[in-house]
Amino acid sequence: MPAPHESIWGSINTCFEIGIEIYQLFCKAQNGENKSGISIPIDRAKEILSEKALSLGAEKDGFIHFESPNQILAPLFELLKSAAITDEDVNKTFGNLAELEQLIKAVTPEYMGSLPLPDAEAAFDKLTVELSPPESERTVKEIRSGLSIVKDEENHFFVAVHKTLAERDLTPTALKYADRLDDFYFYGAIACAIPIYELARKYPEINDIVRNNESLIQTMVTKAPNYVADWNANHAEPGEKIKPNGSIPMMFLQEHYDFEADRTRTAVADFIEKEKAHEREADTGFEQLDEEWELER
């Protein structure tokens, strides 16, 4: 079958055959954005790719198209493993199948499963010994592959980003705000605004955990001004710079609400206990006066 003359991404600028009837396309979208991917005739694709890999593509005009940088990873893995790709440059770029497998787990876990979760015990033992007593129970909640929340029963928490996801999708400045431990970058209750902001732009499902986006923005503005300056200067799209909005910082996750509620309950409980103690002291004092009054009589 001849090479495609059209693509789902826009007009084709360059087309390379990187294997028998396997085409790498570089295109220009109508909005001027550069797009790229792999296109394979549908019949040929069904012969050389699994159903899982096929499900990641989009069909049009007799071809199935896999867009770069995310959707191409799984079909590339299968094509490289079966030696269906003969192009030396592609083999050189993606030929390390172990690394490619980790990328696939980070980007398309529906194909190969998720990245491993962090060790909650080790995280708290090494990062928050003074905040989390040894007997405190720790839990890990996966938000998406490579991103999870590590929390103890006192509602102290970290956001953990697996190195594969972090080093692929976070800016170098964002990485500086983390504590690196084993295969994870750990962000505290304030700094976690940064990876959540960056990753949610690439993986929209992360927005589901953000209760208040204005608070997330304001947290970065007030708590990480150097990061905001770097993002606005080097990464922000026109009209999308991070700006102050007057919202309350550090109230953008449910975990912030849980922590504040727990702290309020603790403060109220302490206040009530102190009041009870004062009452007991007052009661004791009155009893002593009564005894003295009886003696005097």
Under-70 pLDDT residues of the chain: 1, 128-135, 265-297
What is the predicted pLDDT for the residue at 32? Answer: 86
What is the predicted pLDDT for the residue at 294? Answer: 42
What is the predicted pLDDT for the residue at 154? Answer: 84
Domain coordinates of the chain in residue numbers?
11-112, 120-256
The encoded tokens of residue 22 equal 């396997």
Over residues 191-219, the pLDDT tens digits come to 999 999 999 999 999 999 999 999 999 99
What percent of the chain has pLDDT above 90?
A: 72
What is the predicted pLDDT for the residue at 124? Answer: 86
